[in-house]
Amino acid sequence: MSAPGLRERKKQRTRDALIKVALELFTTQGYERTTVDEIAEAVEVSQRTFFRYFASKEEVAFALQRIVEEEFVRALAARPPEEGPFDAMRNAVLASWDGVGDAIHEVVPVELYLRNFLMIESTPALLAAHLRRSSEMEETVARLVARREGLDVDADPRPRIAVAAFCGVMRVTGQMWGKGTDRTLEAIRALTERYLDHLGPALSLHWREPGTRD
């Protein structure tokens, strides 16, 4: 268990190096302007080896994102069963924002993760991939929520519907965070809470009179 062997350790080091170098290059020069050859050369492996570690150039850009997503799923699964689905998802997101630092920190500084996230949102090809990954995530989450509530996802559409609405708001949150000026973890945490609070009221018809302002 504690002795991974030289071979394993070497692989892990290569993998981490590829991620680190790739993200560094992506965030400084831009994703499109960075070639796989360039990354491979910087780590001193062949291009072919890069593609043995990552199925595509895209995949390496999502290496950190994957960690965060897993963190969220773990957090959701850990929520007490008394919580309704919405509170559970909401609290899981907030909890995973808190835990993100530790989870990422072992590979790269958190700041690089945030820059990486901004890059994903602003690069069309990566945004597309991100959204597809998110939709796979939605499926996972819907199943989790259904299980919590003792429902069958394939017979009852409500879990998927609720999750879709929830994730839609989360996506807007990420977007708005990227557009803003306060690019800190605290900022995105605060936005998450604020936007989710708007979801219920936003469904009602009468926006003009009362209006939860801002």
Name the site residues for DNA (rule: CB under 7 A).
5-8, 10-11, 14, 34-37, 44-49, 51-53, 55-58
Distance (Å, whole) CA 88 – CA 109: 29
Nearest to DNA of 7, 206 (CB atom): 7
Say how many C-beta atoms besides its own lie within 10 A of residue 95's C-beta. Answer: 17
Supply the minimum distance, in Å, between the C-beta of residue 98 and DNA.
33
- Find which of DNA, a copy of itself, none residue 176 binds, CB within 5 to 8 Å per kind: a copy of itself
Smallest distance, DNA to C-beta of residue 106, A: 20
**Rounded to the nearest whole angstrom, what is the least distance from the CB of residue 145 to DNA in the complex?**
32
Place of tokens 């989870």: 103
Q: Do residues 196 and 185 make contact, with C-beta atoms less than 8 angstroms apart? A: no
What is the DSSP code (8-state) at residue 81? T
98 binds, among DNA, a copy of itself, none (CB under 5 to 8 A by kind): none
Q: Give, to the nearest 10 degrees, the angle between helix 63-77 and helix 5-29.
A: 110
Tell me whether residue 56 or residue 212 sits nearer to DNA (CB atom). Answer: 56
Helix (H, G, I), strand (E, B), or coil: what is residue 207?
coil
Nearer to DNA, 22 or 92 (CB): 22
Question: Whole-angstrom Cα distance, residue 57 to residue 62?
Answer: 10
User: Can you tell me whether residue 54 is helix, strand or coil?
Assistant: coil
Contacts to a copy of itself by CB under 8 A: 84-87, 124, 127-129, 131-132, 134-135, 149-151, 155-158, 160-162, 164-169, 171-172, 176, 194-195, 198-208, 211-214
